[in-house]
């Protein structure tokens, strides 16, 4: 196995399975998963916290999945540029979409202005299935960053506790629960064969 140390920056997607940034990084060497809650740097630009993490473990690479909201794409690009300037290799991945928005254009090379035209173009494109199998064994990178408990982060105030409790009873995240919900839908609610 390679001796490279990679920080996998978890942004919006905190999943372990089907995570292209994590899967690619785990194949290449040691992984240090990082989620940053850094209000001192501003909610949307956590470069300082990333740099602290890089320095602590001696990382040579940072990997993350794209966020496709325009402000997030710009932020990801700016952070990538800053890290590259500092000699850090940065790799970003498509973790959400069948195609990246910048991969689909009309016959003249322009972006689509209607969803119907975009959908028609996508439905006629060849696509290789890609599987990002979860790493069976992650090799952790050495190093420790100051850590604190979830409670110390202050992410949940008293006003939100009751609604969060209700959400927890009605929502079961994760692949296992998603597979179970899909199987139940197919078996009990899908009219097959479909007839118009």
* Predicted TM-score (pTM) above 0.85: no
pLDDT digits (tens, 9 = 90+) for 16-32: 878 889 988 888 778 88
pLDDT tier, 1 (very low <50, low <70, confident <90, very high otherwise): very low
In the block, which residue shows the tokens 């292209």?
Answer: 20
Phi/psi at 170 (nearest 5 deg)?
Answer: -100, -5
pLDDT digits (tens, 9 = 90+) for 71-114: 888 888 888 999 999 999 999 998 888 888 888 888 899 988 88
* Distance, C-alpha 147 to centroid of its chain: 22
pLDDT digits (tens, 9 = 90+) for 30-59: 888 888 876 665 555 678 888 988 998 889
Ordered by where they begin, the domains of the chain are 4-158 (3.40.50.620)
CA proximity to 132, closest of 17, 31, 36, 8: 17
What is the C-alpha to C-alpha distance for residues 173 and 147, in angstroms, rounded to an integer?
Answer: 25
């Amino acid at each position: 196995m390679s001796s490279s140390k990679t920080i996998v920056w978890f942004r919006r997607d905190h999943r372990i399975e089907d995570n292209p940034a994590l899967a690619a990084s785990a194949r290449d060497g040691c992984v240090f998963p990082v989620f940053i809650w850094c209000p001192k740097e501003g909610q949307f630009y956590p470069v300082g916290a990333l740099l602290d993490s890089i320095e602590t473990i001696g990382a040579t690479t940072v990997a993350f999945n794209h966020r496709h909201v325009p402000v997030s794409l710009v932020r990801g690009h700016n952070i990538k540029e800053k890290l590259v300037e500092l000699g850090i290799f940065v790799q970003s991945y498509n973790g959400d979409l069948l195609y990246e928005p910048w991969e689909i254009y009309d016959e003249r090379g322009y972006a689509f202005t209607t969803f119907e035209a975009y959908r028609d173009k996508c439905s006629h494109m060849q696509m290789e299935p890609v599987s990002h199998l979860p790493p069976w064994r992650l090799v952790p990178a050495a190093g420790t960053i100051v850590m604190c408990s979830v409670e110390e982060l202050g992410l949940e105030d008293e006003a939100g506790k009751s609604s969060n409790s209700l959400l927890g009873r009605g929502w079961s995240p994760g692949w296992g629960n998603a597979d179970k919900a899909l199987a139940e839908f197919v078996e009990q609610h899908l009219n097959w064969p479909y007839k118009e």
